[in-house]
Every structure is written in C-alpha cells, then in structure tokens.
Amino acid sequence: MTVLTETFRRAHEDNRAALVAYLPAGFPSKEGCIEALCAIVESGADIVEVGLPYSDPLMDGPTIQRAAEQALRSGTTTDDVLDTVSAVAATGAATLVMSYWNPIERYGATEFAAAMAAAGGAGVITPDLIPDEAGPWLGAVGAAGIDPIFLVAPSSTAERIALVARSTRGFIYAASTMGVTGARDSVSNQAERLVSDVRAVTDLPVCVGLGVSNGGQAAHVAGYADGVIVGSAFVRCLLDAPTASSGVDVVSALARDLASGVRVRQPA
C-alpha cells in the first residue's frame, strides 16, 4: 500500500475527503515555503503538492505565476524543490511534486524519479504530460516506487478518461474548469459530472482542483470528491502578508477552515 493509498483510506474511514495543499517551492523563500507547508500540514492538510517553479507556466493563473516568478528570481533550483519535499515528507504528510514536463526531462526522468523516492516523495503530478507520451516516465516512476498522477478535464472524452485511469496511481486529478488555476467565487458545476465520469471507469480516488478558496467551497466539493485541492488561495495569503511570520499565520488559519470544510462534507 502506497502512502497516498493509505492517506485516502484513513480519510475514507473518517467519512471525509482529503485536503490537498499546494505551494511553489522557493516561495516566499526556500525556508519560508517549508515553514508554511509544515504549518499547513499541522493545521489539517493531508497531502502536499510542492510546485516546481517554471518559466513558462501555461496552466497557471496570475497568482501562482507571480509566486513562481519570485521563486525563480531568488534562484530556486530543482534540488531546492527536492529538499522541500524531504522536509515536508518528514511531517508524515504524503508529499508530491507538481511539475511541467520540461524541467523533469532536463533533470532526467529516471534521475528525478529516484531523487523523489530518496526524498520521501509519494508521487509526481505532470499537468502537461499525457499518458500516450509518458512511456519512459511511467517506467522511471515504476522503478522508483512513486505514483504518476495525470489530469482529466471537462473536455476529456470517455476514452481519454479511461486511458488516464489506466496510467495513473495514487489519485486522478480532476481539473474543474478549462481555464488556468486561480481561486474563484464558486467551483465549476462541471466538476461533479467529471468526477462521476471518472468513477465510472476506476476505483482510484478523484481529487478536484482549480477554484476552491474557503471552507464552504471545500465542503461542497468534498460532497462528491475524494480530495479537495487548494493552491492559489494559499499563495494569495503569502503574497498579501506583510511579513513571513504573518503569512504563516494566515495560511494556517485558511488550512484550518478548509480542513473543517472537508469534514463537513455537504452532500452534492
């Protein structure tokens, strides 16, 4: 049983969804990111996504782009990302990297997968890599014993969803909209249908991302999904915070609100 499988099993036994939190490594600084993510875990997050900052983030909205640009300007490297994974995984939370394919390819797919395993990482989300083109990567993560996580979207066909389900381990990432990332006033009503379509072909957990920013939204998504993914709302807290310490306080408060939401689990 993998770390992710065990995490979802525990959440299921508690009759709730898992809370998945995202921050890009190196933001607001390397140590600041680690401190914030550890505080988020302490405040109720079950799974952490460590973003690998990239200079051409096609799927990221302006909030995450600003954070990634700041991290890159400060010299954040892939090894810094792996150090962040190691520090957060030491909390016991299932710790992932979310990365575009190009940086992994430059690092070396086999080398990156092995380094993730050595750091205690549980898996890697690759939003711009499709299973059809992921043969070498699937071999690398299989050898390293970590989970490859692919995305489905409202536009995904039944055939595409089935292919993603066959190629993914850990959980399937369901993007609730066709747009870029970012906190929204409401989560797309396409998300529930997408989760239902995925569950028609697999027993893997399904986590919904893109748009959740508060406990009420988390409770709604938790009514039909196995996990609730929150990124831009955490990033916004740190962007708006006047000091690093106040930023940690604010992301902790948000994590507590979201963690309460996934436990309320309002019926869809």
Residue in 162, 170, 182 with CA at minimum distance from that of residue 230: 182
Whether residue 49 lies in the annotated active site: yes
Residues 245, 189 contacting (CB under 8 angstroms) = no
Q: How far apart are CA 149 and CA 217, in angstroms?
A: 24
Whether residue 159 lies in the annotated active site: no
Of 46, 49, 192, 226, the catalytic one is 49
Q: How far apart are CA 165 and CA 238, in angstroms?
A: 34
Of 60, 147, 192, 226, the catalytic one is 60
* Neighbouring residues of 106: CB distance < 8 A, sequence distance ≥ 6: none
C-alpha angle 46/13/119, rounded to 5°?
A: 30
Both tokens of 28, joined, read 């607001």
Q: Which residues pair with 51 in a beta bridge?
A: 24, 98
Active site (catalytic) residues: 49, 60
